[in-house]
Amino acid sequence: MLAEEKYIQKIDIKHRKKFAQFFTPLPIAEFMVNWIFKDNNIKTLLEPAFGLGIFSRLALDKNKNIKIKGFDVDKTIYSKASDNFQNSNVDLYLEDYLYNDWNNKYDAIICNPPYLKFHDYKNLETLTEIKKKLGVNLSGFTNIYTLFLLKSIYQLNQNGKMAYIVPSEFLNSNYGKNIKKYLLKSQLLKEIIIFDFKENIFDKAITTSAILFLEKTQSNTLNFTNIDNIFQLNNFDNVKKKSYSYANIDYNIKWKKYYQKQNSLKYKNLIPFNSVAKVKRGIATGANEYFVFNIEKAKKYNIDIKYLLPCITASKDILLPIFTNNDFNNLIKKNKNVFLFNGVNKQNNHIKDYVRYGEEQNIHQRHLTSKRKPWYKIENRLPAPILVGVFNRKGLKFIRNEANITTLTTFHCIYLTENLFQNIDIDLLFAYLLTDTAKEIFNDDSREYGNGLKKFEPNDLNNAKILNIFDLDVSIKKKILNLYNQYKDEVVNNKIESQALLHEIDTILQNNFSDVNSS
């Protein structure tokens, strides 16, 4: 049994989570070590997030004379690893890698770094240290795995080789931009191997992963390879790659454009979504427990309903794609949280009391409220005609907001843009948004959180593309609207979402927009 398997059996998951102890599966560790040892003369090796040293064990199998150094911050795992590596060329340190060993360089570095959000990590000083040493600006959203990566690059010897397995998140997120910029500038990154497994390769950790191979030698191409099952690693040289020269890679955009098949390529006549609509996030109150109201709470504090702003506060309150006044009234009757306190410029005593109560609770000193004037003024967001769910397992959830009420950040708001040249028919747009074709094309611009969980920030949608349904023949548009109206009737009157009707709209889209020239 592997040392890691024994460890998992004995040690509580809470402890493992605290230190991000998710171990590299053996076939992946072997693949990484094999690459490091291919045509190379390695004398020194660093394993910065040692754990039980799976990479070092495999490296010693290749060459028992190399000198290895390892770091780990957890006493428990460190003492087990020290026992396992007695009398070997491995020097282990119970120290934080990010703060130590800056002055040493290595022929090889192999790592599965801890995936921990910065605010779970004790100290912000490392950001300053990294900035000073490497000249990279990093935001507080940075995950510490990227700091491990940058520090290791700094510690690589000329001709040295480095293999890292990391969540692929930074390739497609805002905080990753500066890291990608640095990777391009330093020209060490040779291969990115992106896993798109149906199952998680790290038990219980919700991440999709990528292996990065870096080498301190001159060359200016970067290869991207998609791997969808672990067996492809055995036959890696024959798996199809996409090669780009550094000059043709843009750190500002999501890199999935370079490695993932773009769904939009199958279609013709696409336009940017932001040419017809603008997506903004919903209202952030900064203290939902204070601002959110239901009818009972309004009675308790004697707040008249006219001082409350109708607002969707939970995504589970909207079950169907068309949200009507009737649905809203039903939520009120069920005493759901569907209002926000709206006390600005109201001279009523009960309003004043509730504002005072908020101050007694220090609500006015919260991060967001302290920046507003007065602190209890909620953001000015007009109700949007279409809403869209933020986190999705099954694809985007669009809602036609016929009740015309505002929303908290659980939904993004979609407003139509004023367009002199084109009259945007909102029902036509909404009919389109409901289709699988629309969702498939939007997925090109999603960011992924592993386990199939997709997230769209407002700008992901703003930058996405849609089919130009507005330029279709009038007769086709009429057909779509007719199908949509039948669909809507079913939803509103019978609470049924007819997939058959949506499927018919999809077929119209496929017939009119499929690009026969695309492969």
Ligand X SMILES: C[S@@+](CC[C@H](N)C(=O)[O-])C[C@H]1O[C@@H](n2cnc3c(N)ncnc32)[C@H](O)[C@@H]1O
By the 8 A CB rule, do 27 and 233 touch?
Answer: yes
Q: Which C-beta is closer to ligand X: that of 144 or that of 188?
A: 144
Q: Which C-beta is closer to ligand X: that of 3 or that of 311?
A: 3
Q: Nearest distance from residue 105's CB to ligand X, in Å? A: 18
Q: Which C-beta is closer to ligand X: that of 59 or that of 98?
A: 98
- Rule CB under 6 A: choose which of 7, 42, 51, 107 binds ligand X: 51
Q: What is the DSSP letter of 514?
A: B
Q: Which C-beta is closer to ligand X: that of 77 or that of 399?
A: 77
Q: Which of residues 158-197 bind ligand X (CB under 6 A)?
A: none
476-502: b (≥16 Cβ within 10 Å) or e: ebeebeebbeebbebbbeeeeebeebb
Q: What is the per-residue binding string for ligand X in 1-30, x denoting contact by CB under 6 A? A: ---x--------------xxxxxx------
Q: Which C-beta is closer to ligand X: that of 100 or that of 329?
A: 100
Q: How far apart are CA 394 and CA 282, in angstroms?
A: 21
Q: Which C-beta is closer to ligand X: that of 58 or that of 340?
A: 58
CB atoms within 10 A of CB 200: 16
By the 8 A CB rule, do 209 and 192 touch?
Answer: no
Instruction: Please report whether residue 97 would count as binding ligand X according to CB under 6 A.
Output: yes
Nearest to 438 by CA among 375, 382, 388: 388
CB neighbour list of residue 283: distance below 8 Å, 6 or more residues apart: 311, 340, 378, 379, 381, 406, 407, 408, 409
By the 8 A CB rule, do 471 and 269 touch?
Answer: yes
Q: Which of residues 444-503 bind ligand X (CB under 6 A)?
A: none
Which one of the spans 50-58, 135-143, 179-187, 468-476 is the region binding ligand X (CB under 6 A)?
50-58
Q: Which C-beta is closer to ligand X: that of 4 or that of 317?
A: 4
Q: Nearest distance from residue 71's CB to ligand X, in Å? A: 4
- Rule CB under 6 A: choose which of 50, 106, 398, 442 binds ligand X: 50
Q: Which of residues 54-83 bind ligand X (CB under 6 A)?
A: 54, 71-74, 77
Q: Nearest distance from residue 99's CB to ligand X, in Å? A: 8
Rounded (5°) CA angle 461-464-467: 120
Q: How far is CA 247 from CA 186, 187, 224, 409, in A?
A: 13, 10, 15, 38
Q: Nearest distance from residue 114's CB to ligand X, in Å? A: 4
Which one of the spans 94-102, 156-164, 348-356, 391-399 is the region binding ligand X (CB under 6 A)?
94-102
Q: Nearest distance from residue 49's CB to ligand X, in Å? A: 3
Q: How far apart are CA 173 and CA 447, in angstroms?
A: 7
Q: Nearest distance from residue 231's CB to ligand X, in Å? A: 20
Q: Nearest distance from residue 69's CB to ligand X, in Å? A: 12
Q: Nearest distance from residue 213's CB to ligand X, in Å? A: 16
**Rounded to the nearest 10 degrees, what angle do helices 144-154 and 177-186 cross at?**
20
Q: Which C-beta is closer to ligand X: that of 23 or that of 273?
A: 23
CB neighbour list of residue 97: distance below 8 Å, 6 or more residues apart: 48, 49, 71, 73, 148, 151
Residue nearest to ligand X (CB): 51
CB neighbour list of residue 369: distance below 8 Å, 6 or more residues apart: 286, 287, 363, 375, 376
- Rule CB under 6 A: choose which of 59, 66, 90, 114 binds ligand X: 114
Number of residues that bind ligand X (CB under 6 A): 21
Residues contributing to the site for ligand X (CB under 6 A): 4, 19-24, 49-51, 54, 71-74, 77, 96-98, 112, 114
